[in-house]
Chains A and B, each alone.
Chain A
Amino acid sequence: MGTCYLAWATDEKIRRRAANGGFVTAALVAALENGLLDAVVVVKKEDVYEGIPTVTSAPEVVVESAGSLHAVPVNLTKFVVEFYKDEKNKGKKIGLPVKPCDARGIIEQAKRQQLDINDIYLVGLNCGGTLHPLNLREAAAEVYGIDPDAVVKEEIKAGKLFLTLQSGEERECKIEELEKKGYGRRDSCKMCITKIPTMADLACGNWGVLKGEEATFVEVLTGKGEALLKNALENGYIKVKEASEKSLEVRERIKNAMVKLAEEWWEKLDAVKELTRDERLKFYVETLRLCINCGACRTVCPVCACDDAAKCVSMHDERDDYVISMYNVIRLLHLMDSCIGCGQCEDVCPVDIPLTFIHRRFAERMQRKLNYMPGMNVSEKPPFYEAELQWHDIL
């Protein structure tokens, strides 16, 4: 475990805009203004339900995008990969705030030589889960009884989802209750157990911030993270104090509770668990038969790094008329060692195949058997390729 601090921005404006303490925004602004970073990737807020990833070198844009967007479940990995594909961006240092799944995706891409991890400063954010925008709209209308378009701000605090209306009125509902009614977090988030981004450079969040304090809890995990913190501190953008025993304890307790909840959700969402072998096959065939071969899941997948000559595409032929297409079969197989369970595939699927769950079913058992978690460490090679290293055993 890294060193833990409580940090807050010295700038009043940042503190007011940001979710808690404004450390993330202040650190990124400081790094931009002092030349530590060339650019920052932020999700620019359109409204509560929509955000657009943007690369910017302007500190004011970073400040503007402060605050959390729970209903924009975008994964920045492919965006960063596209950024580095441009010849003129090679070698640029960028920083970005990341959810654990963003960080894991970026690390998986670095393993596949799509980008250099040393160029990227990952400011991790603790993540209890994201909401699907359509789902939140429905929930606003059904549960909160308000016009979805009138919502100007959403905030998750202490297990409650707050929606603020144009008039300034604030409505709240427990997430637990929302989820009982079929709303709430996305399925992939419900079953995700990576709540604190220990694979990033910094892990920030409000877990461990005690009542009455307005600060961000920051765990420094790598040298890059330390550089970010030091730069912001020495140039007077932030103030820090050492985290107390109590806040560490509180953070650990919240994390453990979330992980326990995720494990319970996995049990609940696992619809295949009770089925016999034949029924399981029938379930997979009938669910995947809906596939229209659009390829959207492959395009958004943060761990896929093959180009157009990928096996799942080149070995697939619609005329084959297999009960499960080669595309799905190969994708399921190739993701067994590398699926991070981010749920992007399910979000974009036009025929609503429960892809997160199916991929998790296949990946979970393999990853557990190999005792390997993808996206946690750049130096761990994907086990599918690891065999080439092992032949030294016999010499």
Chain B
Amino acid sequence: MLAVVDEQMNEKKEWEPKVLAFCCNWCSYAGADAAGLERRQTPPTIRVIRVMCSGRIDPAFVLMGFLEGADAVLITGCHIGDCHYVDANYKTRNRFEFLKEFVDELGLEPERLRLEWISASEGAIFADMVKEVTENVKKVGPSPFRKSWKK
């Protein structure tokens, strides 16, 4: 019986990446919703965190995501000029420049971090992006910050 329990609990599953996505309330979260309404297939790898604005995404949140073991982090928001809070996504874009350099210097693959502007009607783009990121991350393998890597 113990062997059966062990077998049930330790299924040898293929590794699936975990993709953390920050979506802004007004555009990209609605975009993700649209992808669902349009019945587009999205890989189940994505974990969405809704924030009011992409300008709320502190680079520290993204880095924490990586340290917690995310294989990729997506930052999404309204298109430049469409921000609900006038100019906040300019700040996002600026911070992303820093994050990109930081992640590259630290030694994580650039594929693991992505910034994308997605409007409420762009469900197709959202679905495609998740697919693409998942494929790319599968190629580069699990994040070196995965829990198993710890002491």
Q: Which residues of A contact B149 (CB under 8 A)?
A: 323
**Nearest CB in chain A to that of B59: its residue:** A333
Which of A279, A284, A326, A387 has a CB less than 8 Å from the CB of B106? A284
Q: A324-B67, A330-B63 are in contact. Are A391 and B86 (CB under 8 A)?
A: yes
Question: Could you mark each residue 115-136 of chain B with 1 if its beta carbon is under 8 Å from any beta carbon of chain A, else 0?
Answer: 0000000000000000000000
A362 touches B90 (CB 8 A): no
A326 to B65, CA, bound (A): 11
Of the candidates B58, B107, B109, the one having the most CB atoms from chain A within 10 angstroms of its own CB is B107
B81 touches A394 (CB 8 A): yes
A337 to B102, CA, bound (A): 11
Q: A280-B107, A323-B150 are in contact. Are A387 and B101 (CB under 8 A)?
A: no
A329 touches B67 (CB 8 A): yes
B4 interface contact, C-beta 8 A: no
Within 8 A of B (CB), among A357-388: 361-362, 365-366, 369, 383-384, 386-388
7 A–B pairs (Cβ distance < 8 Å), ordered by A: A281-B144, A311-B58, A329-B63, A329-B67, A333-B102, A387-B93, A390-B90
A278 to B145, CA, bound (A): 12
B15 interface contact, C-beta 8 A: no
Q: A329-B63, A330-B63, A362-B102 are in contact. Are A277 and B150 (CB under 8 A)?
A: no
- What's the dominant secondary structure at chain B's contact region? helix
Within 8 A of B (CB), among A138-185: none
Q: Which residues of B contact A329 (CB under 8 A)?
A: 60, 63, 67
Which of B63, B91, B107, B108 has a CB less than 8 Å from the CB of A326? B63
Q: Which residues of B contact A321 (CB under 8 A)?
A: 150
A14 interface contact, C-beta 8 A: no
Which of B64, B87, B102, B150 has a CB less than 8 Å from the CB of A391? B87
A323 touches B67 (CB 8 A): yes
A391 touches B101 (CB 8 A): no
B101 touches A336 (CB 8 A): yes
B95 interface contact, C-beta 8 A: yes
A390 to B68, CA, bound (A): 33
Q: Which residues of A contact B87 (CB under 8 A)?
A: 387-388, 390-391
B60 touches A311 (CB 8 A): yes
A315 interface contact, C-beta 8 A: yes
Q: Which residues of B contact A386 (CB under 8 A)?
A: 94
- What's the dominant secondary structure at chain A's contact region? helix
Question: Could you mark each residue 50-80 of chain B with 1 if its beta carbon is under 8 Å from any beta carbon of chain A, else 0?
Answer: 0000000011100110011000000000001
Q: Which residues of A contact B95 (CB under 8 A)?
A: 384, 387
A281 touches B108 (CB 8 A): yes
Q: A278-B144, A387-B94 are in contact. Are A332 and B102 (CB under 8 A)?
A: yes
Question: Could you mark each residue 331-350 of chain A with 1 if its beta carbon is under 8 Å from any beta carbon of chain B, else 0?
Answer: 01100110000000000000
Q: A277-B107, A321-B150, A387-B93 are in contact. Are A326 and B144 (CB under 8 A)?
A: no
Q: A281-B108, A332-B102, A336-B102 are in contact. Are A384 and B60 (CB under 8 A)?
A: no
Total interface residues on A, CB under 8 Å, equals: 34
Q: Which residues of B contact A284 (CB under 8 A)?
A: 106-107
A61 to B80, CA, bound (A): 59
A333 to B61, CA, bound (A): 12
**Nearest CB in chain A to that of B64: its residue:** A326
Within 8 A of B (CB), among A289-321: 311, 315, 320-321
**Nearest CB in chain B to that of A364: its residue:** B105
Q: A278-B144, A321-B150 are in contact. Are A365 and B105 (CB under 8 A)?
A: yes
Q: What's the nearest-Cβ distance from chain B to residue A368, in Å?
A: 10
B60 touches A281 (CB 8 A): no
Question: Could you mark each residue 241-284 of chain A with 1 if its beta carbon is under 8 Å from any beta carbon of chain B, else 0?
Answer: 00000000000000000000000000000000000011111101
Of the candidates A324, A333, A366, A386, the one having the most CB atoms from chain B within 10 angstroms of its own CB is A333
Which of A280, A315, A369, A390 has a CB less than 8 Å from the CB of B64? A315
Q: A281-B108, A387-B91 are in contact. Are A366 and B63 (CB under 8 A)?
A: no
Q: Which residues of A contact B107 (CB under 8 A)?
A: 277-282, 284
Q: What's the nearest-Cβ distance from chain B to residue A373, in Å?
A: 16
13 A-B pairs besides A280-B106, A362-B102 with CB distance below 8 A are: A277-B107, A277-B109, A281-B108, A284-B106, A315-B60, A321-B150, A329-B63, A330-B60, A333-B98, A336-B101, A387-B91, A391-B87, A391-B90
**Nearest CB in chain B to that of A289: its residue:** B151
A337 to B98, CA, bound (A): 9
B90 touches A387 (CB 8 A): yes
A279 to B150, CA, bound (A): 16
Q: What's the nearest-Cβ distance from chain A to residue B107, in Å?
A: 3
Q: Ordered nearest first, which 10 A-B pairs have the shortest CB separation?
A: A281-B107, A391-B87, A387-B94, A322-B67, A280-B107, A387-B91, A387-B90, A329-B63, A277-B107, A394-B81
Q: Which residues of A contact B108 (CB under 8 A)?
A: 281
Q: Which residues of A contact B68 (CB under 8 A)?
A: 322
Q: A322-B67, A323-B149 are in contact. Are A361 and B93 (CB under 8 A)?
A: no
Q: Which residues of B contact A326 (CB under 8 A)?
A: 60, 63-64, 67
